[in-house]
Chain A
Amino acid sequence: MSGFVHGNWSYLWLFLAGFCATQPWRYLGVILSINIRTDSEVLVWVRLVSTALVAGLVTRMLLLPAGALASVPLEMRLGSFLLGCCMFFLARKSLAAGVFSGGAALVLAQYFLQP
């Protein structure tokens, strides 16, 4: 098994690694919702596992990024992230305030703080 293939077969690759890896969980959700208790302990655990997983992805993207973000100094990434978090709470948990102020801070920091 090799990595991503380009060309026409790429769609089969993306279909298998994307669609087939994602949709069964949603379909299972529809089927189980017909008769399951939504407050069961298994669901609590499943929610916590997925929460930790996404949180891990967040810090990885922050601390060990790839692509365009990798050329931004670490302290700018962390500073902008913290600023976004502060704005989120100051604006009474407004996602827009947090996300946009963090993104804007990162862009401005690169223009004005770059040595």
Chain B
Amino acid sequence: MAAKPGELQAPEWCRGASRKDAYYRGVMAAPSVPVIVVLATFVGFGALAEGAGLTMAQAVFVTVSVFALPGQVVLVDQIAQGTALFSTAFAVTLTSVRLLPLTLSLMPYLRDGITPRWVEFIFAHMLAITMWIESMRRLPQLPERLRSPFYGGFVSALFAGILCATALGFLLSGQVPQEIGAGLIFLTPIYFFLSLIAVSKSHIDLLAVAIGAVLGPVLFVMTPGLDLFLTGLIGGTAAYALSYWWNSR
């Protein structure tokens, strides 16, 4: 993902750039292919929320307060199924555990001794898988003092775009033919799956994908409500155990 140390070269614009310039560069870098994909999936989320019976304000509220597609999809899915508050929060929490390692591995890049700690928490609020991939790709070659404003610019543009995409998807949901509505919702599982493949570091991650993919529907039928929790726990632990056994042979 990141270039080799020898290849790391700061882009031309960094020479003599102020932190304000870096913020502006971050905003301008946001309209990119991965961001367009994410916007499309959030249009799909808006449509999904409409289908689950939420209002547009509620859908936007979910996007602002959660800001991570897997958790939001689980939340809306549980609402549609009439699941109780505690079970829903539990399922969303389990889906969001993945944000911990993402935040944990990115924060050191954004820490420059100038940015206050409370801004780091806002940065973390806006960190999800796409932002993580893009940051790991773009930040390491920037000079340390420009990373945090660049991230801030990129993520503010992304945040604004995602809010609009949610509202747009909600509005389109009733308007577009059902065939296209299904296509928009369909973007989400493909995007999740391909992202998992794209960021996988080794065959162990792929093993976790494979085991989880098989367990998901099976456990949904066997233990609805607890299915996601058990899929993650059993699938992830099995993948970890198998790799441990494989490495220790």
Report B-chain residues with C-beta under 8 Å of the C-beta of A27: 121, 124
CA distance A67 to B81 in the complex (A): 11
State whether A64 and B102 are in contact (beta carbons under 8 Å apart), knowing that A29-B124, A72-B182 are contacts in the complex. no
Q: How far in angstroms is the closest Cβ of chain B from A34?
A: 8
Docked pose: A12 CA to B231 CA in angstroms? 29
Residue from the list A46, A56, A57 in contact with B101, Cβ < 8 A: A46
| B89 smallest CB distance to A (angstroms) | 4
A23 to B98, CA, bound (A): 11
Q: Contact at B236–A50, with CB atoms within 8 Å?
A: yes
- In chain B, positions 65-89 with a C-beta closer than 8 Å to chain A are 65-68, 70-75, 77-86, 88-89
- Please classify how large the interface on chain A is, using the bins under 10, 10 to 19, 20 to 34, 35 or more: 35 or more
Q: How many A-B residue pairs have CB under 8 A?
A: 318
Partner of A67, one of B82, B185, B237, B239: B185
Closest partner residue, chain A, to B120 (CB atom): A30
Also in contact, A95 and B103, with CB within 8 A (given A3-B79, A55-B209): no
Q: Is the CB of B228 within 8 A of A58?
A: no
Q: Chain B binding site: helix, strand, loop or mixed by DSSP?
A: helix
Q: Which residue of A lies closest to B211 (CB)?
A: A52
Query: B99 in the interface, Cβ–Cβ < 8 Å?
Result: yes
Q: Can you report 25 A-B residue pairs in the complex whose CB atoms are below 8 A from each other?
A: A3-B79, A3-B82, A14-B61, A16-B85, A17-B85, A19-B65, A25-B103, A26-B99, A30-B121, A32-B104, A47-B101, A48-B208, A48-B239, A49-B237, A52-B231, A52-B232, A52-B236, A52-B238, A58-B196, A60-B216, A64-B220, A68-B185, A103-B40, A106-B183, A107-B179
Q: Identify the A interface with B (CB < 8 A).
A: 1-4, 6, 10-11, 13-23, 25-30, 32-33, 36, 38, 43-69, 71-72, 77, 80-81, 84-85, 88, 93-96, 98-100, 102-104, 106-107, 110-111
